[in-house]
Structure 1
């Protein structure tokens, strides 16, 4: 078992020159083992997370004594990726978000794993919408979808009760969300509803609302190009909804520069009644932001006019530069660490047990990357280890399979989200914002990015 100190040191080594890494690999070969460098957690993860990883690492090495796992503190970011790839300092296995996978595919920066996925026998079990995120224009598969989420409506059960609302009957339409937000603001003095606005997260959550109302924000032209369609009635309705909550109802509080971290902090502290974000955020709310589990509630995003639920997630991938032996070891690790707990009862139980014993959340609702039957079966396997309040999340767990998932925009995802941040900020800070003009300009600016 390797300590978290070794993992942290390895994280620093990941930034070293390629020659230093080659020396490390040679040392591993002298021991008769292949050293496989795998991404673990971003810097700052708590000790319990590392303890859980250490136990899983031990289990894998016992089953694969010819492979030496070295965990690296690593967080994928687009600005540093190309330099790390060129310098040979990337982990052999790491994860990237769906929103960036298409760019990496187009740039030939991921390893083709088509044969390996097919040989493992579960290619046909993937949710086809999710598998598309790792499929190139050549039809090849370039990674393993390992985790997905659907956006949900998160709400504070304590604020609902203080406002005289039933926390077991959360809103099911956007109009009901508005009514509940106004009641919470009037009865408690807290923000009844809030939304992210900065760091590209405002654009992301505006997309969630627009897609839920039936919007298509970008059209794939089928030739590697895209057409921006942000300027549409559904996006306008989403912006007008935020405008009315802010200026007519005064139900959004006084803070309008929230990003993912700050909105989670405010929600966990009991200052926000409702907001939308990924369904997998419970773990972070409780572990990192100190939310009392009893106060947490989760239900599905309201849909109307043929709307869909926007999802996301990440994929386990390899750089295209690793050799065949390392690739084979990496596939073993990905299959064992990420995939088998979704497919195999013994692996699922072992994973859940290790997480539970390290005080990590087990059972947080996700958007299954595999078919519904496989997912429900896996939940039965681990039910004895589930330690999250699923009875407070039934609105989501019972409703999500009735919603159609939609992927995020593919072309220039993050830069366009940054443009859309400006739309959200404008309607929340300027009562007389011209929504029509703002949408028209963002569409022009987004298309300019897509045409680059």
Structure 2
């Protein structure tokens, strides 16, 4: 999943909301231009984010005078996607998490862009592991991977200092995370560590914690299907860790119903010492949740065991399957210009970075390359003068992430399996005597039933 949901947009809220209910794209508008509805920031983004997009919108339209870009507020929510698609309220261009792409393309809910990607010359440029997420059994491609991340441990430098911890030397093992969480809770009265637990994010983060301990909640059965393996030692250890932080150390805090948005709110407000999420979340923390940059710290997620790895993810720019040919062509132009060129072209990278920096938007947030590591690191050199995020406070992540083995998210019934794990996480956090073995045994059986469908 993606550090979930990016998408919103434009400059004029009235136009954005009107477009959100305009139905399927009708191609050309009254001026003869192709009207293209695009989504980018989630609702709640600050005014500077809209200003930055408005500047980019103008730049694109100067280069493409036959296309009229209309920005829409949009936030990805898997449970409501089908309703939005059926009702015609989706943007023409939007992003979806890697975790949902396979299901969506198999359901015919994404536009085939194989020929367009080939024509642009990107097919052989993408990281093949990432491209697999939008490729069907016949080799057809249904989206443009545009951003990837690895799981990281995010921490509040102010709370570290208040608790007598060194913010430049964050925990490197789960035992050290637990000890730091307890010290933060005792010294500051704030939650030392918390974890997402609802809206499928509990399952997502439990899967990440499992991978970090060498386990996996799912394996390929070798015959085109998947075998549920939720009941494994890595998942048990991850749940035992949550139990101990909550019940033995009293360091978890009092909120056990956090998801991606609410845990970010708690962290940005200074109420939380540490949590795990995608390495790209800094942008949202500052832009959408008002966190002060000087408070932020990022390190790699601790790994335990020979098979341990860091769960990765990201999102994909896709096109609604309901658009006409003219709108599809315009959508490909937009995706190439807005998302892809800055990854490949120095001039495009500098223009994008300058535009964002001029509007006080984050430039230089740590990511994983959707193309090659060499290209990614070269792009950082291109935009060096515009980087405005405190990368020195992210050094523990930047220096160590390449040493960790990336692990992809499970592909079979991903969100449904995550949903099964949410109540397991909640039970451990709300019932001191929760039977972890029994909870996982039942969740494993339920997951296998889903995978067998």
**TM-score, normalised via structure 2 length:** 0.92
Deviates more, 1:216-225 or 1:431-440: 216-225
Q: Tell me the secondary structure at the aligned position of residue 245 of structure 1.
A: helix
Q: 1:406 is matched with which residue?
A: 407
What pairs up with 1:19-418 in 2 under 5 angstroms? 21-22=25-26, 25-28=27-30, 31-221=31-221, 224-305=224-305, 306-418=307-419
Q: Tell me the secondary structure at the aligned position of residue 398 of structure 1.
A: helix
Deviation, 1:79, is 4.0
Deviation, 1:85, is 3.6
Matched, 1:16 2:16: no
Cα distance in 2 for residues equivalent to 1:81 and 1:418 = 16
Structure 1: tracts of 5 or more residues without a match: none
Cα distance in 2 for residues equivalent to 1:33 and 1:26 = 5
Cα distance in 2 for residues equivalent to 1:60 and 1:405 = 35
The one-character-per-residue Cα deviations of 1:346-404 (angstroms, maximum 9, x if unpaired) are: 11111111111111111111122121000000011111111111100001111112222
Count of residues in Structure 1 that have an aligned counterpart in Structure 2: 444
Q: Tell me the secondary structure at the aligned position of residue 280 of structure 1.
A: coil
The one-character-per-residue Cα deviations of 1:103-128 (angstroms, maximum 9, x if unpaired) are: 11111222222222222223223222
Distance 1:176 1:80, change over 3 A: closer
Cα distance in 1 for residues equivalent to 2:203 and 2:84 = 28
Cα distance in 2 for residues equivalent to 1:400 and 1:56 = 31
Structure 2: tracts of 5 or more residues without a match: 1-8
Kept in 2: contact 1:11–1:71 (CA 8 A)? no
Matched, 1:4 2:7: no
Cα distance in 1 for residues equivalent to 2:129 and 2:147 = 13
Kept in 1: contact 2:45–2:288 (CA 8 A)? no
Cα distance in 1 for residues equivalent to 2:167 and 2:433 = 35
Cα distance in 1 for residues equivalent to 2:212 and 2:151 = 10
CA RMSD of aligned residues (A): 2.0
Kept in 1: contact 2:34–2:327 (CA 8 A)? yes
The one-character-per-residue Cα deviations of 1:30-70 (angstroms, maximum 9, x if unpaired) are: x3422222223333332211211111111111112222222
- Counting helix residues as a fraction of each chain, which structure ranks higher? 1
Q: Tell me the secondary structure at the aligned position of residue 29 of structure 2.
A: helix
**TM-score, normalised via structure 1 length:** 0.93
Q: Tell me the secondary structure at the aligned position of residue 333 of structure 2.
A: helix
